[in-house]
Structure 1
Amino acid sequence: MHTALVVLTIVAIGFSAFTALVSLTDRPRAVARGAYESLDAVGVPRSWQRFPIGVGKVLAVLGLSAGLFGIPGVGTAAAMGLTVYWSCAAFAHLRARHYDYHLPFTVSWIVISVSILVLDLATWCAP
């Protein structure tokens, strides 16, 4: 169980760091363009790309990293934040009837975020 938590957390840190970099710097341009197209399609203002989206992802990276290095409450809060973020993203896609490749991708990240949260909480309860 601990190994699965560590692996999923490292994957989430890597992905969140990459997407935070894209959100905050608009680089690489092709990925940033896809993110802006997705925001436009679901009716989210482009101005949200840096804040709250980019800043939220940076906070997720910091919180998940803190959880890996022995501050479990912060890691749990970061996993909760990612779960809420990806759930809101899925809701925005469903509300806008935007069913392209972004929706399955978003749902997969909900599963990963919830898995991290559940495994993290289970480690709190383990003897």
Structure 2
Amino acid sequence: MSTAFVVVTLLTIAANAFSGIAALLRFPPILPAMARADVPEAWLPFPIGTLKTAGAAGLLAGLLGVPLVDTAAAIGLVLFFVCALYTHVRASDFSPQFGLAVAFLALAVATLSLDLAA
């Protein structure tokens, strides 16, 4: 397990855990961004918050030694953020949250790439 993999994975875990918990709790500052992207508020706890939090938990389990769970979690997060970007593009929402989704996708792709390279 390389240092780069551990650092990037920990960043991905932290970002997705924070974002997932914020969605689960319907954190008020995220509501306008979801509305701009035409995402119903009812989707915040499930699927959005649940999937992000599960992805973070899966990456953590992989770091702690559970085989292949981190790979599955990274693939799931990549797919999630590809869909998130599609949602923003479809709604013509190129606000700062679009850039944030790009950053989250980049973290997930980097985590997956480093995991597969190991």
Q: Quick check: TM above 0.5?
A: yes
The answer to whether 1:23 aligns with 2:18 is no
Q: What is the RMSD computed on CA atoms of the aligned residues?
A: 1.3
What whole-Å deviation, never above 9, does each CA across 1:49-104 have from its counterpart, x for those lacking one? 00001111221121001110112310000001111111111111111111111111
Gaps of 5+ in 2: none
Distance 1:113 1:20 in 2: 14
The residue identity in structure 2 corresponding to 1:25 is L
Query: TM-score by structure 1 length?
Result: 0.86
Q: What is residue 114 of structure 2 aligned with on the other side?
A: 119
> Which runs of 4 or more aligned residues in structure 1 lie more than 3 Å from their structure 2 counterparts after TM superposition?
none
The answer to whether 1:3 aligns with 2:3 is yes
The answer to whether 1:35 aligns with 2:21 is no
Q: What is residue 39 of structure 2 aligned with on the other side?
A: 44
Gaps of 5+ in 1: 27-31
Distance apart, 1:24 and its partner CA: 1.6
The residue identity in structure 2 corresponding to 1:64 is L
The answer to whether 1:53 aligns with 2:48 is yes
Over alpha carbons, which structure has the higher Rg? 1
The answer to whether 1:71 aligns with 2:66 is yes
Distance 2:82 2:70 in 1: 18
Query: TM-score by structure 2 length?
Result: 0.92
Query: How many corresponding residue pairs?
Result: 118
